[in-house]
Structure 1
Amino acid sequence: MTTATFRIHPTPVGDALLLHSDAGLIGLEILDAPLGAALEPWVGALRSVPVHDEAAGDETARQLDEYFDGDRSDFDLPIDLSAVNGFHRLALEAVRRIPYGETASYGEVAISAGTAGAARAVGTACRLTPISLVVPVHRVVRADGSIGEYGGRPEIKRYLLDLEDTHRPAGV
């Protein structure tokens, strides 16, 4: 059983649910449903009910604000990917290596994760990631360069890609 805390933090793309375990950030998602519906899968995964704590995740919230202000290109947070196993975890670790302001195709991420030809599995890992933004699945695009759906919210993916393009350091 993992004890987790949560809070809601406003961002320019919607309210973010921030979940933290003792090991670090375990979940970050932009809410598109009531809070109870967003927390429900976590109750099963953690085998406990996350506890609301407005002070939880202060550092995550600060770094998110800096990211959206264009003042942060890398997150320096302890990440807890214990809810992700196998190739999906390898894929998300590969996604974390995509530099700020750049993109990689699902196939390129599959190669980076050690399994060429597993582009569809990378897509599934990105769709199911428990930690968006900090694990920058928005940087993964289709082979033809189109951005894809981003969990049915392509406008958020476009916003994040445009934000990073706007604030990309000169010469990158």
Structure 2
Amino acid sequence: MPSLTVDTPTGAFVLTEEEGAITRATWGRGGSDHTPLLDRAAEQLTEYFRGEREVFDLPLRVRGSVLQRAVCDAIAAIPFGYTRTYGEIARDLGSSAQAVGQCCGGNPIPVIIPCHRVMGARGLTGFSGQGGVETKVALLRLEGAAGLLI
């Protein structure tokens, strides 16, 4: 599977493509493959971190349970600069907040599927990406959602 490493303010970030869709994004170093899709994804990610992009326009494929895919769809629908709680998403999906939290932690395409926009009932919670909660705060600040962190 082709992958491309992109340097971001939150660290090196690897995008992976499979069968015409982005299937994984994670912090770390990986490949240096250039495909039209990976180059487009890298460009959009760079634009996001420069504050020039609020919505990603990429084909994504989330593998996992029906709930995992539904949670990722719900997260992807949260607008730039806004947050929702695990409980709100759980209520919409007829699930538990704990199950939604586990799916958020298993999000295979963070940032592009913005799991950093999901909060606990009492506010800021952990983040499974590199840098933990500090990265979550940095992403929310980038989006102008920092007032929601209090």
The question of 1:123 aligning with 2:101 is answered: yes
Distance 2:139 2:45 in 1: 12
Distance 1:54 1:23 in 2: 14
Among 114, 117, 125, the alignment partner of 1:148 is 125
Question: Cα deviations across residues 15-55 of structure 1 (Å, max 9, x unaligned)?
Answer: 00110011310000122xx75xxxxxxxxxxxxxxxx4521
Among 108, 131, 146, the alignment partner of 2:88 is 108
Which residue in 2 is equivalent to 1:55?
A: 34
Query: TM-score of the superposition, structure 2-length normalised?
Result: 0.88
SS of match in other structure, 1:135: coil
The question of 1:68 aligning with 2:65 is answered: no
Among 117, 127, 132, the alignment partner of 2:110 is 132
SS of match in other structure, 1:8: strand
Counterparts in 2 of 1:14-25, with a 5 A limit?
14-25=11-22
Structure 1: gaps (5+ residues): 36-51, 167-172
Misfit runs of 4+, over 3 Å: none
Question: Cα deviations across residues 112-153 of structure 1 (Å, max 9, x unaligned)?
Answer: 3x214x1111110111111000000000000012x2110161
Query: TM-score of the superposition, structure 1-length normalised?
Result: 0.77
Which residue in 2 is equivalent to 1:165?
A: 144
Which residue in 2 is equivalent to 1:169?
A: none
1:85 CA drift (Å): 1.9
Calculate the aligned-residue CA RMSD, in Å: 1.5
Aligned pair count reads: 141
Which residue in 2 is equivalent to 1:29?
A: 26
Answer with 1 or 2: which has the greater Rg: 1
Distance 1:71 1:150 in 2: 24
- Letter of the structure 2 residue corresponding to residue 54 of structure 1: D
- Letter of the structure 2 residue corresponding to residue 76 of structure 1: D
- Letter of the structure 2 residue corresponding to residue 85 of structure 1: S
| Preserved CA contact (<8 Å) 2:15 2:25 | yes
Structure 2: gaps (5+ residues): 146-150
1:110 CA drift (Å): 1.3
